[in-house]
Structure 1
Amino acid sequence: MSDGTGAGEGVRARPRLTVLSGPSGVGKSSVLAELRRRGPDIHFSVSVTTRRPRPGEVDGVHYHFVDAAEFRRMVDDGELLEHAEFAGNCYGTPRAPVERALASGKPSLLEIELQGARQVRAAMPGARLVMLAPPSWDDLVGRLTGRGTEDPAVVARRLEIAREELAAEPEFDDVVVNHDVGSAATSLLNLVVGPVPGTP
């Protein structure tokens, strides 16, 4: 395991898929938004989901929002690199955009849950799995309960799943601890494309 500050040398010559995973509430969306803001030449995979959009989410940018019937069709037609059910909703990664990006020489980054990450590792053994972890368990609990937008039973289930996901840390190639968004984004960028000159 590493903190992401010294990896990625091989990606320059042979771009590969990096999978970012981590428990709900750990800040994956914020870290990816910061990475996008910096404008690196990375293909950001957009997942398909049956989940309803949250306030501010844009179809085709944050997710491709589809109904259950369309999701089943994509699974049956082999259009998804991986798919999983999480908290009562289905998520999947379109296969074609990832394969096109890698074939064109561009590293690809996707953010998925643990079940999907395991499927990607099986389908693409060369993929790098990166876990985004909270500074502490108490910090994660505070983030999830502080949202105030979900039923307590749903939060309790998310915490139960989070324990399972964090226990899977040994399956990952690297772990980035999200002490703050900027540092976490730098570490992730180093893992995806290699160390950037002038960064710690």
Structure 2
Amino acid sequence: MKRRGLLIILSSPSGAGKSFHSKLLREWDPSIRFSVSATTRPARVGEVDGVDYHFVTREAFTDLVENGEMLEHATVFDNLYGSPKAPVKEAMGAGLDTLFDIDWQGGQQIRNSSLGNDVVSIFLLPPSMAVLEHRLRSRGQDSDEVIANRMAKSLDEVSHWAEYDYVLVNDDADACAENLKAILTAERLRRERQHSLNDFVRDLQTEYEGDA
């Protein structure tokens, strides 16, 4: 059945698993497109422009927003992040799903946009805040001050859990991955998402009436 592509929003506090599970979802279904965000923050070691993020200047980012070329945008830790609109609309028209690895602010903007009816939003909770802090420290990339700021931000993220369609506790990575697959499979099969069903059912009825 032909259908319009979904906008899959996957959010979590930093370190709670959204990047890991985004990767697993795309390995499970390679047709899922990943929305590569634009950002004004500097690239980290190992990050590739155009793959991990589109790294742009603050002036260039502002121009994109003013020209209506961002589906959503937000300020996080004094850096700007946003999702370019054109690739998302192209994927939707082709019946391909787009995955967004974004925070609650970006998710809220997309849900309130003209494309909101095609959004499936999922929030990942950590098993505990202690586990979350351990994951952040195990990266070995941030100072104590940065980690403290991230933990404060995480508490704010968690407070928005009820705004999402689905909420999963990421205490077992395998079980969480299976639940994500089940959610996406079910959402793709929703009657209102299969836009060719009307034609299909009409053909069935015509076929029966012709045989009769």
Tell me the TM-score normalized by structure 2: 0.80
Structure 1 residue 13 displacement after superposition: 4.1
CA displacement, residues 72-128 of structure 1 (integer Å, 9 cap, x when unaligned): 111111110000011121100010111111111112211111111111111133212
SS of 2:122 mapped into structure 1: strand
Partner of residue 169, structure 1: 161
Comparing 78-87 and 41-50, the one that deviates more: 41-50
User: Amino acid of the residue matched to residue 171 of structure 2?
Assistant: H
Counterpart selection for 2:143 from 131, 135, 151: 151
- Mapping of residues 60-79 of structure 1, within 5 Å: 60-79=50-69
> Relative to structure 2, which stretch is displaced further, 185-194 or 129-138?
185-194
Q: Structure 2 vs 1, CA of residues 42 and 194 (structure 1 numbering), >3 Å: closer, same or farther?
A: farther
Task: List alignment gaps of at least 5 residues for structure 1.
Answer: 1-10
Alignment deviations for residues 11-63 of structure 1 (CA, whole Å, 9 cap, x no partner)? 98443211111111112221122222334321211111111112222111111
**Equivalent residue of 2:131, what SS?**
helix
Please provide the CA RMSD for this pair.
Answer: 2.1
In the alignment, what sits opposite 2:181? 189
Query: In the alignment, which residue of structure 2 is the partner of 1:106?
Result: 96
Quick check: 1:12–1:193 contact (8 Å CA) kept in 2? no
Q: Given that residues 25 and 181 in structure 2 are in contact (C-alpha distance below 8 angstroms), is that contact kept between their aligned partners in structure 1?
A: yes
Indicate yes or no: 2:11 matched with 1:21: yes
Q: Aligned in 2, Cα 1:155/1:171: closer, same or farther, shift over 3 Å?
A: same
Equivalenced residue count is 186
Identity %: 41
Give the aligned partner of residue 70 of structure 2: 80
Take 2:142 and 2:23, find their aligned partners in 1: how far apart are those partners?
A: 23
Q: Which residue of 2 aligns with 1:4?
A: none
State the partner residue of 2:129: 137
Q: CA distance change for structure 1 residues 51 and 192 in 2, over 3 Å: closer, same or farther?
A: farther
Alpha-carbon distance in 2 for matches of 1:42, 1:147: 28
Residues 130 and 12 (structure 1), Cα distance of their counterparts in 2 relative to 1, 3 Å cut? farther
Cα distance in 2 for residues equivalent to 1:94 and 1:150: 28
Give the alignment partner of residue 109 of structure 2, picking from 119, 123, 130. Answer: 119
What is the aligned counterpart of 1:178 among 137, 150, 170?
Answer: 170
**58 and 181 in structure 1: CA distance in 2 versus 1, 3 angstrom threshold:** farther
Question: TM-score, normalization: structure 1?
Answer: 0.84
- 1:107, 1:192 within 8 Å by CA — same for their partners in 2? no
Task: Give the Cα separation in 1 of the matches to 2:94 and 2:10.
Answer: 21
Contact 2:5 2:94 in 1 (8 A): no
